[in-house]
Structure 1
Amino acid sequence: MSVSSESASTQCAISIVIVSWNTRDILQDCLESIANQTTLPHEVIVVDNASTDGSQDMIRQSFPDVTLIANTDNRGFAAANNQGLEIAKGDKLLLLNPDTIVLDHAIDVMSGWLDAHPDVGCVGCQVFEDADTIQRTCFADPGPLNLALIEFGLYRLAPRHPLLGCPEYGDWNRDSERDVDVVSGMFMLVPRHVFEAVGLLDEAFFVYSEEADWCRRIRDAGWRCVFSPEARILHLEGGSKSTAQIKSRMYVQKQKSKMIYTRKHYGWFGALCAKSAFLCSAILRGGAFGLANLARSTPNHKAKVRLARDVIRFHLFGREPAA
């Protein structure tokens, strides 16, 4: 690991930590939007997980004021964020995805909002998928019941039902302020005193569920986690190759992280319930798509069957897919 371009600022309102992996072009757009839309004294720390697409050179050449931590291997999302948090100097700490664009001084606005709400330990802003579509960010605690509602597709039957729609707050359009269990990790603004009380992200999570765990610990410590539509960013969903590039492996990794979460916060019985939900769901889906493939073979049916097979292998034998 090497470190370059340390910020010389001693008066830093916000430290912005971005973890990247092969996201050079969208990362460049993200960094430009921060520079153009943020007037508060701030520092930007990019932790690069061994990109091979020239991301590190782009940062050094185009953004010399950005602090770059250039890892020689992919340490995962939680561990890489921790590297940035450990050297951050700001009074507030912002975790920001590289596939986002800051709009209308969003960081400045949310910093002011947080100052006016001292009982809040983590806040997220409104996120747009395109010019007209608000992304459904933030969600309920991913306990065993909510995981089962998602895995078996029950939340889709009545997304606005107070129980069935609970996992993803299906009755809420993200156009109003609301206390939430989990602030989505693409934009998480946390005051320094909260961070110092709660600590770093749990590195047991390689990717996924680390924000759920962090928010759980923030709420357990007595602070609120809140979504506020006071400001907005654009999220180029799917642009982050850390999640979109490796389909089957990352799908299994997502379930693995959720099981780590349930074991940590709901004990072994909770983890067993989550494992059972994942396994039963995969068996049902694999069987359904297998029959559909026999009736009419399509690439989509075959891919669904392979995905179900990989999930079953993981939960029965602990074998993670290579790709």
Structure 2
Amino acid sequence: MSDGAATGPSAGTGTGSGASSVGASGALRVTAVLVAWNRRELLREALEALAAQTRPVDRLVVVDNASDDGSDAVAAELLAAWGDRARLIRLTENTGGAGGFAVGIAAAVADPATDWVWVMDDDTVPGPDALSGALATFGRYRASGQDDLAVMGSRVVWTDGADHPMNTPKAKIRASRAERERAASVGAMEIRSISFVSAFLRAARVRELGLPIVDYFLWNDDFEYSARLLRGARGLFVPDSVVTHKTAKRGSSDADPGPRFFFEVRNKLWVFRLSKALYGWENALYIAATARRWVRTFRASQDRSVLRDGLRRGWRDGWRTRPRASTEVLATAGVPDDVMDQIRLLER
């Protein structure tokens, strides 16, 4: 990517709601990061939606997690119209969401002009005003007082237009009355964590606190990372920014995960034992909430023997191991040298 003139899809300063959002929040520069793996047609839909934003995306990074279904070719085809405002990073190994987002976010914040990083998977299709709605809310929030916003999250719906239960935002525990009222005054809600399904990350905060931990392969990477960015800072759920999460089913996050339950258990223990994302009192509350969720998962399971095995192995590894350095995990994944240098810098 470069700082050249804005050419390609939706280039320019924007009109209509896009122009008002830019005016409300200043000349902000937003880099979108999309992580793809073997969902070629959904990837095409997501990229077309990003190109059609009423407030144009300034830059775009697509990280292909070693797809073998031609997703990289689809990305290359659609990114050609973006010119030097876009970059496709093809990894040689599937590093999971955590690895893909770590690589993409590192590439995004390496550009010192980036103010916000907008992250999503390839099954996330932004509505035309998803970006303008988020920036307009940020502009109103910043005008109302302190400029302490670190994370924003979109409203996530399923294909039927109803809120997706997998991505339902939760209000911040023990948010002060002033925090709640300030968020409500701009049509938002104070939050403590958010998923990577359309999250807006303040680039300055990323540069300060680093990247998602790559060894959180598959589960809890977004919870740990967003909570880490939000410790001592503000986060908002923004209903004016809407995306569609095109999962195969409209299921909740406590549905039976089968063998993947291992990652849920191991990674949650890593969060509670090792992460600096949560305050001590929050740790206790989240441990209790996690235990209740695991009970619901077991009750809903059709094969509890698989979950018991995942619980046993995850519990063992969660206590006996810790995440490896991200540079170690990514060493053989084909990360470009300049991005790996940025990852090393942020990891320190």
Instruction: Give the equivalent residue in structure 1 for 2:87.
Output: 67
How far has the Cα of 1:207 moved from its partner? 2.7
AA matched with 1:188: A
2:153 and 2:3 map into 1 onto residues whose CA distance is 28
AA matched with 2:139: D
The 1:40/1:219 distance shift into structure 2, 3 A limit, reads same
Instruction: Give the equivalent residue in structure 2 for 1:206.
Output: 217
1:91 and 1:308 map into 2 onto residues whose CA distance is 44
**Alignment partner of 1:307 is 2:307:** yes
Superposition map of 1:1-323 within 5 A: 6=1, 9=4, 13-64=29-80, 65=82, 66-88=86-108, 89=111, 90-116=114-140, 117=142, 118-136=147-165, 137-139=168-170, 177-220=188-231, 222-238=232-248, 247-263=257-273, 264-265=275-276, 301=302, 303-315=303-315
2:37 and 2:97 map into 1 onto residues whose CA distance is 10
Sequence identity of aligned pairs in percent? 21
Contact kept in structure 2, 1:255 and 1:278, CA below 8 Å: no
How far has the Cα of 1:75 moved from its partner? 1.8
1:208 and 1:99 map into 2 onto residues whose CA distance is 17
Instruction: Give a deviation string over 1:160-188, Cα, whole Å, max 9, x none.
Output: xx9xxxxxxxxxxxxx6211111222011
How far has the Cα of 1:313 moved from its partner? 4.4
2:264 and 2:3 map into 1 onto residues whose CA distance is 38
Instruction: Give the equivalent residue in structure 1 for 2:329.
Output: none
How far has the Cα of 1:249 moved from its partner? 3.3
Instruction: Give the equivalent residue in structure 2 for 1:172.
Output: none
The 1:190/1:209 distance shift into structure 2, 3 A limit, reads same
Structure 2's unaligned 5+ residue stretches are 7-27, 175-186, 321-348
The more displaced of 129-138 and 185-194 is 129-138
The 1:196/1:38 distance shift into structure 2, 3 A limit, reads farther
How far has the Cα of 1:317 moved from its partner? 7.8
Instruction: Give a deviation string over 1:132-160, Cα, whole Å, max 9, x none.
Output: 3122422368xxxx9xxxxxxxxxxxxxx
Secondary structure in 1 matching 2:52: helix
AA matched with 1:57: A
Secondary structure in 1 matching 2:125: strand
Normalized against structure 1, the TM-score is what?
Answer: 0.68
Structure 1's unaligned 5+ residue stretches are 1-5, 147-161, 163-175, 290-299
Contact kept in structure 2, 1:279 and 1:312, CA below 8 Å: no
Instruction: Give the equivalent residue in structure 1 for 2:15.
Output: none
Contact kept in structure 1, 2:50 and 2:57, CA below 8 Å: no
How far has the Cα of 1:49 moved from its partner? 1.1
How far has the Cα of 1:59 moved from its partner? 1.2
1:198 and 1:285 map into 2 onto residues whose CA distance is 33
Secondary structure in 2 matching 1:252: helix
1:219 and 1:124 map into 2 onto residues whose CA distance is 12
Contact kept in structure 1, 2:150 and 2:201, CA below 8 Å: yes
The 1:140/1:260 distance shift into structure 2, 3 A limit, reads farther
How far has the Cα of 1:112 moved from its partner? 2.7
Contact kept in structure 1, 2:152 and 2:236, CA below 8 Å: yes
How far has the Cα of 1:110 moved from its partner? 0.8
The more displaced of 37-46 and 224-233 is 37-46
AA matched with 1:225: G
- C-alpha RMSD of the superposition: 3.7
Normalized against structure 2, the TM-score is what?
Answer: 0.64
AA matched with 2:40: R
Aligned residues: 261
Instruction: Give the equivalent residue in structure 1 for 2:335.
Output: none
Contact kept in structure 1, 2:171 and 2:190, CA below 8 Å: no
The 1:14/1:75 distance shift into structure 2, 3 A limit, reads same
Contact kept in structure 1, 2:213 and 2:221, CA below 8 Å: yes
The 1:110/1:312 distance shift into structure 2, 3 A limit, reads same
How far has the Cα of 1:22 moved from its partner? 1.1
